[in-house]
Amino acid sequence: MKLWVDIQKKLPGFTLDVKFETDGEILGLLGASGSGKSMILRCIAGIDTPDTGRIILNDRTLFDSKRRIDLPCRKRKVGYLFQNYALFPNMTVEDNIGFGIEDRKRADRIAIIEEKVKMIKLEGLEKRYPNQLSGGQQQRVALARALAIEPEALLLDEPFSALDDYLRNHMVKQLTETLSGYQGVTLFVTHNMDEIYSICHRLVVLSSGKIEAKGGTEEVFSSPPSLVSAQLTGCRNFSPAIYKSPFELEATDWGINLKTKREIPKQIEFVGIHAHALELALTEKEDNVFEGRLNFISETPSRVTVYLVTEKEARRQENHQIQWEITKQMWSELKDKPQPWKLKMNPEKLIII
Using CB under 6 A, list all residues that contact ligand ATP: 11-12, 14, 31, 33-39, 191
Rounded to an integer, what distance in angstroms lies between the CA atom of residue 306 and that of residue 280? 13
Q: Which H or E run contains 157? A: strand 153-157
Rounded to an integer, what distance in angstroms lies between the CA atom of residue 175 and that of residue 161? 14
319: exposed, middle or buried (Cβ count in 10 Å: 0-12, 13-18, 19+)? exposed
Q: Closest distance between ligand ATP and the C-beta of residue 189, in Å?
A: 7
- Taking the least distance from each CB to ligand ATP, the nearer of 228 and 278 is 228
- Taking the least distance from each CB to ligand ATP, the nearer of 31 and 98 is 31
- Taking the least distance from each CB to ligand ATP, the nearer of 39 and 213 is 39
Omega of the bond leading into 340 within 30 degrees of 0 (cis): yes
**Amino acid in the structure at residue 134:** S
Rounded to an integer, what distance in angstroms lies between the CA atom of residue 82 and that of residue 96? 14
Kindly report the backbone phi and psi dihedral angles of residue 314, in degrees, each rounded to the nearest multiple of 5, phi listed first: -60, -40
- Taking the least distance from each CB to ligand ATP, the nearer of 155 and 309 is 155
Rounded to an integer, what distance in angstroms lies between the CA atom of residue 66 and that of residue 187? 25
- Taking the least distance from each CB to ligand ATP, the nearer of 18 and 271 is 18
Q: Which H or E run contains 108? A: helix 106-119
Q: Is the torsion defined by CA of 258, 263, 266, 272 positive or negative?
A: negative
Rounded to an integer, what distance in angstroms lies between the CA atom of residue 258 and that of residue 347? 7
Q: Closest distance between ligand ATP and the C-beta of residue 10, in Å?
A: 10
Rounded to an integer, what distance in angstroms lies between the CA atom of residue 187 and that of residue 202? 10
> 3-class DSSP state for residue 303?
strand
Distances (CA, A) of 251 to 47, 76, 117, 258: 47, 51, 56, 7
- Taking the least distance from each CB to ligand ATP, the nearer of 226 and 295 is 226
Phi/psi-derived region of residue 60, left when phi > 0, alpha when psi is between -120 and 50, beta in every other case: beta
Q: Closest distance between ligand ATP and the C-beta of residue 31, in Å?
A: 5
Kindly report the backbone phi and psi dihedral angles of residue 237, in degrees, each rounded to the nearest multiple of 5, phi listed first: -115, 115
Would you mind telling me the total number of residues written for the chain in this entry?
A: 353
CB-based contact 145:99 (threshold 8 Å): yes
